[in-house]
A and B are shown apart, each in its own frame.
Chain A
Amino acid sequence: MTFEEIHTTYWPKVYRQCIGYMNDPDIAKDLAQETFIKVWQQLPKFRNESSISTWIFRIAVNTCLRQIEKDKKMPKSELPMGLVAEVSVDNEPEVQFLYQCISELPEIDRIIISLELEELKQKEIAEIVGLSESNVRVRIHRIKEKLTKKFQQHDR
């Protein structure tokens, strides 16, 4: 797979992962760009030890987690402006509410549920975050319960 193909296929997935983590289009854009910069740099070293999808999501998740590390390490000005056309905020209210609820979860839960909603297998999620498969299953169940409750309260 060439970088261009990867970029086209995975950009939306990675972007959703990032916006699920931060719920801020600008930061999510930066995080997604950083992820793909790393993917581009590391791609020659990729050896098919894991699937390309696991590999990319690991990089994306770690980039999100390392967000706490840099308040100034990679200032916005160093990233190209206008790479992404402005994301229109015409999402349905339910969509916005879902992303908001997810961003209120603890960090690791945000990551797990985002990967689950992206329809990754639970085995793959476990490989990405480094937890056991059974633990991932239990967590997903609990997070979904939490989200369902929030949606029900929201609807009333």
Chain B
Amino acid sequence: MTDNIDFKQYWKSQSIATPDAKELIKKASQFKRNTLFKLIAANVLLLATSIGIGFVWYYFQPDFLSTKIGIILCIVAMVVYLAFYNTLVPLLLKNDIELDSKSQLQQLLALKEKQRFLQSVLLNGYFILLFTGLSLYMYEYVSRMTLPWAIFSYGLVVFWIAINAFYFGPKTLRKQQGRLNKLINQLKDLNEQLTD
């Protein structure tokens, strides 16, 4: 058995069919549009909600200070969330694909670690702000109700927030963090393979 095996010859005899370039271009433009659409949709939705809440202030002219503080807190929660989301998404979508592998992997690792931190801090902060804001906002209207109705209204809001904050939120977070942790470990391993 020879020591001089012609790997290159084997390598090149892999049979390959080249697809049509036009189909590829069509698909590529569609894909780009989809990603952009999601980003715009999230912005429009949260901004519209904020404007809606602001409109309540303007139109109903609440008397209590607590109502106004509540409105501000809710809007702040949504704006802060959007602000972070908007700074993170371009980073996630940015194609640093032209860098060499080493720099690319290091950048990706830094980004994923930042994302892991942001996700946990941001989501908790968002729920705390939203819950405080809503409770304050409701106080003026609830104080005019009879006691059973008041308890019912607050109960409903607490229930809704609690389900989100203690069930759906952590569930999503655990799933995302689990994936991120796995990914970060794999990236670290790849980076180690790339040390001179």
Contacts and interface: CB of A to CB of B under 8 A. Distances in A.
A84 B24 CA distance: 11
Contact of A111 (B5, B31, B101): B101
Contact of B101 (A16, A87, A91, A129): A129
Interface in B15-67: 15-21, 23-25, 27-28, 31-32
Contact of A36 (B16, B24, B194): B24
Contacts of B144: none
Contact of A117 (B11, B103, B186): B11
A44 interface: no
Contacts of A7: 18, 21, 24
Contacts, number: 146
A155 B17 CA distance: 30
A8 interface: yes
Interface of A: 3-4, 7-8, 11-12, 15-16, 19-20, 33, 36-38, 40-42, 55, 58-59, 61-63, 65-66, 68-69, 71, 74, 78-80, 83-88, 90-92, 94-95, 98-99, 106-109, 111, 114, 117-119, 127-132, 135, 144, 147-148, 151-152, 155-156
A65 B97 CA distance: 10
Interface of A is mostly: helix
A118 B112 CA distance: 32
B193 A66 contact: no
B21 A4 contact: yes
Contacts of A148: 3, 5
Counting contact residues on chain B (CB < 8 A from A), the size range is: 35 or more
B128 to A, nearest CB: 30
Nearest to B112: A69
12 contacts: A11-B16, A41-B32, A66-B108, A83-B19, A83-B20, A83-B23, A87-B17, A98-B7, A98-B11, A108-B194, A117-B8, A151-B1
A33 B24 contact: yes
B181 interface: no
B95 to A, nearest CB: 6
B123 interface: no
A11 B95 contact: no
Given A12-B18, A131-B194, A152-B1, A79 B102 contact: no
Contacts of B5: 147-148, 151
